Homo-oligomer: A and B are copies of this chain.
Amino acid sequence: MRPIFVSNAKTEMVDAERAAWSMMSFGREQTEVDDRVNSFQMKTESSLDFCHLSSPEHCHISLQHHGPDARQSYGYAYEYQLNNDPVSSSQPIACGIVYPSRPVPHAKPPTHTDPSAVLNIDCRVCGDVATGFHYGVHACEGCKGFFRRTLRLKLAYDPCDLNCRIQKKNRNKCQYCRFQKCLLVGMSHDGKPLERVKLIYLHDNLKAECYVA
């Protein structure tokens, strides 16, 4: 767990009015990294723009390379903290994923059927493996389809006040609570819940997509 500092990264605010970012401290959770990632760490070890976040939360970042040898998973997790107070410390925030913004040339593009290409990030609704950023949040194919069907067919489910915990193995047990969870984590048909999402370009082909969870 060697803490590093990231700064001077090129950032793109998805919702500039609301968010501003503060100093981040990273804690590496995994020891194995490849050369490119090490160099990324070298280059980014400086200081980020300050930002505010309405509801700071714990944060995980997962790194992934889709290089020529993508079959060896490079995924590993970061934790970092942002401060609402630009000067002082320690309210942890946001959750996201870091991945190359575009694949290395000659690298086989990852496909759905290629197990090595799976994002190392969980579906925010049920915890299954997320296949992408769907309706504003990282979600698995199941929750993506469920949300799409619900809106498209204007489905209404039997109300439930048990606030069921939605997990992969039981996500089909309570449609009402599953849909509530979809809304809770920010799924929206009108595009990304922009005020919660922010992109950080950490390195040439490494991009962080962070959001408040």
Contact = CB atoms under 8 A, between A and B. Distances in A.
Interface in A78-127: 101-102, 113, 115
A169 interface: yes
Contact of A12 (B12, B115, B190): B115
Report copies per complex: 2
A134 B119 CA distance: 29
Contacts of A113: 101-102
A68 to B, nearest CB: 19
A102 B113 CA distance: 9
A72 interface: no
Contact of A169 (B101, B102, B172, B190): B190
Nearest to A101: B113
Interface string A164-201: 00000110100000000000000000110010000000
Contacts of A172: 191
